[in-house]
Structure 1
Amino acid sequence: MKQPPRYRLVVDVMVLMVRDDGRVLLLRRAGQVYASGLLCPPGGHLEEGEPATAGALREVAEEVGVTIARRDLEFCHAIHHRSPEGEGRMGLVFTAQRWTGQPSVREPEKCSGMVWADPARPPADCVPYTAAVLDRFRRGDLFSEDGWPAGGAA
């Protein structure tokens, strides 16, 4: 009996930079990227051979130009997301309450602006994946599934 192919998926890393007032930084995607015009936290997918924390720290530095010490990065949520096109992704979400530098747009070809948003009332124009992450973060859930049919079968 032939074994089905091994399941593989993209691993996303996201960092919720949390200010003292509880607001989190969201970036407005721009250009020829997925979900252009919508809001999401700093993040992206892991590169080959890259550990999750290193990827999260790299993405924050690349996208908003701040440095976060590894000790200030805290895991807060894992989300197994399925896009409307059926692509599975595993999102690892971290928080940071301390960083060095002032956040600014560092990749204008991919990002047109930044907003500090209340995670309990995220803007309506968030990427759906981001809205799901913010909802779970607000509730304190450690794991969730989003975009999968009821019962989990594709």
Structure 2
Amino acid sequence: MKQRYQVTVDVHVILERADQVLLCLREGTGYRDGWYCLPSGHLEEGETVVDCAIREAREEVGVHLDPAFLRPATVVHHLSPEGKPRMGVFFATDCWNGELFNAEPAKCAELRWVPAEQLPDNTVPYTAAGISLYRDSVGIGLHGWPELASR
């Protein structure tokens, strides 16, 4: 019997301030340390994507998000360099409760506001793709798939 296709779901939160987005510098995670990403994480069993976005923002940058102010930003069907498929659900908001701070110093070296159109060179490509698609008002996009290179 053929195995059903499985994909990891990631949830990303684009926190916006004017034309800037908040990035987290990964450290001590074992994956892309020294690279910037958005507050994000894996969807847990029984959790909605909205609940995941709220949880990740609280766990990583210490703020509380009201689901009424979370906007769907984009969805990215990503294929990692290792060949693992992922589905990234990106939300955006410019409204939160509490002061931003690095709530996971063992996994994050710093928080940094950057212009959304000038991401650092060491931004995780999957993250950069999601921000770019959002800025271009693309509802769903692909990243990392081999056939993209031939288009």
**TM-score, normalized by the shorter chain, greater than 0.5:** yes
Partner of 1:9: 7
Partner of 2:109: 112
Instruction: Indicate the SS of the match to 1:79.
Output: strand
List per-residue Cα deviations over 1:111-130 (Å, max 9, x = no partner): 01011111111111101111
**What aligned pairs does 1:85-100 form with structure 2 within 5 A after superposition?**
85-100=82-97
Identical-pair percentage: 40
| 2: CA distance, partners of 1:123 / 1:136 | 17
Structure 1 unaligned segments of length 5 or more: list them.
none
Separation in structure 2 between the aligned mates of residue 40 and residue 32 of structure 1, nearest angstrom:
12
Q: Equivalent residue of 1:86, what SS?
A: coil
Give aligned pairs, total.
149
Deviant stretches of 4+, over 4 Å: none
Q: Normalising by structure 2, what TM-score?
A: 0.95
Partner of 1:31: 28
Question: What are the ranges of 5 or more consecutive residues in structure 2 without an aligned counterpart?
Answer: none
1:48-70 Cα offsets, whole Å, 9 max, x none, are 11000000100000000001111
TM-fit CA distance, 1:151: 6.7
* Distance in 1 of aligned mates of 2:15 and 2:58: 12
SS in 1 for 2:147: coil
What value does the CA root-mean-square deviation take over the aligned residues? Answer: 1.3
Q: Which residue of 2 aligns with 1:124?
A: 121
Is 1:102 the counterpart of 2:95? The answer is no
How big is the shift at 1:100? 0.8
How many Å separate the matches in 2 of 1:106 and 1:151? Answer: 37
CA distance in 2 between counterparts of 1:151 and 1:83 reads 13
* Alpha-carbon distance in structure 2 between the residues aligned to 1:35 and 1:132: 16
Q: 2: CA distance between counterparts of 1:114 and 1:6?
A: 39
**Change in 2 beyond 3 A, CA 1:33/1:151:** closer
The amino acid of 2:9's aligned partner reads V
